[in-house]
Amino acid sequence: EVLLLDSGGGLVQPGGSLRLSCAASGLTFRSHVMAWIRQAPGRGLEWLSSISESGENTYYADSVKGRFSISRDNSKNTVYLQMNSLSAEDTATYYCAKEVKDPSKMTLGFDPWGQGTPVTVSS
Amino acid sequence: QSALTQPASVSGSPGQSITISCTGTSSDVGNYNLVSWYQQHPGKAPKFIIYQGTKRPSGVSDRFSGSRSGNTASLTISGLQAEDEADYYCCSYAGSRHWLFGGGTKVTVL
């Protein structure tokens, strides 16, 4: 069974930084594209970023580009999200997820998801 | 890029069928056959239930079905059960390795 364990969330002041981690098990981690998705309180889901299997290629939503950075350590089966210049609008539960691929490497969706780690940006 | 549009809520009685719509544009839903749907129970992580608009991952009940027409995708839940009460989200590829989600629909079983 593939399991993703998100951690690193917490309370941070506006303008501050935080690094989230997602530890994966039950899969050949280096063979999978990973993503971060967030959900603000009472709101919908928002895709934030994805990283290729090797970590060479990264992709970001406009809302976080230049402030957030995704990375991975395949020796530790872990993907990270470094979040800088945080504001109240970044308050959300952050989920990591594995991208589901078809044989042609097209992404079909996200499965499974971690349990989420909450981030609160407040003074 | 704006979020995909879903109704805020849909309700139905046990045994009935309900349909949730997901409206995008010709740049996302209408341009790619890559709409997926997720079920989220309160306090839980989302669960992947439909991909490529109409296909179900292994283990997902056949009471869940999807369709797509033009810029709108739909999720139908047949034979509604109490356990189906949850939030449902659509997601579409939007090009350039970007993904858009809908705002979510709360399904209530009356």
One DSSP character per residue, A20-51 reads: EEEEEESS-GGGS-EEEEEE-TTS-EEEEEEE
**Contacts with A24 (C-beta within 8 Å, 6 or more apart), sequence order:** A2, A3, A4, A5, A32, A34, A77, A78, A79, A98
> What is the average pLDDT value for chain B, to the nearest integer?
96
Mean pLDDT confidence for A95-116: 95
Which of A44, A45, A108 comes nearest B51 by C-beta? A108
pLDDT in tens, B45-99: 999 999 999 999 999 999 999 999 999 999 999 999 999 999 999 999 999 999 9
Tell me if B98 and A37 make a contact (CB, 8 A cut-off). no
Cross-chain residue pair A44–B102, CB shorter than 8 Å:
yes
**pLDDT above 90 coverage of chain A, percent:** 95
Alpha-carbon gap: B88 to the closest alpha carbon of chain A (Å):
10
For residue A45, list chain B residues with Cβ-Cβ distance below 8 A. Answer: 38, 46, 89, 91, 101, 104
Identify which of B40, B98, B57 has the alpha carbon closest to the alpha carbon of residue A116.
Answer: B40
**pLDDT in the model for residue B2:** 76
Inform me whether the pLDDT recorded for B23 exceeds 80.
Answer: yes
* Cα gap A115→A93, rounded to integer Å: 9
Q: Return the percentage of chain B with pLDDT > 70, whole number.
A: 99
B contacts of A114 (beta carbons < 8 Å)? 45
Nearest to B38 by CA among B79, B70, B72, B75: B75
- The two structure tokens encoding residue A7: 């951690």
Question: Could you report the per-residue pLDDT of A56-99, keeping only the tens digit for each?
Answer: 999 999 999 999 999 999 999 999 999 999 999 999 999 999 99
Q: Give the one of A95, A109, A116 whose C-beta lies nearest to B91's C-beta.
A: A109
Mean pLDDT of B16-41: 96
Is pLDDT above 80 for A117?
Answer: yes
pLDDT(A33) > 80: yes
CA angle A105, A113, A87 (to 5 degrees): 105
With 80 as the cut, is the pLDDT of residue B1 above it?
no
Question: Of chain B residues 72-101, which have a CB less than 8 A from chain A?
Answer: 89, 91, 93, 96-101
Q: Cβ–Cβ contacts within 10 Å for residue A77, how many?
A: 17
Residues of A with CB under 8 A from a CB of B: 35, 37, 43-47, 50, 59, 61-62, 95, 100, 106-116
First to last CA, chain B: 35
Averaged pLDDT, B17-43: 96
pLDDT tier, A42 (very low <50, low <70, confident <90, very high otherwise): confident
Nearest Cα residue in chain A from B6: A44
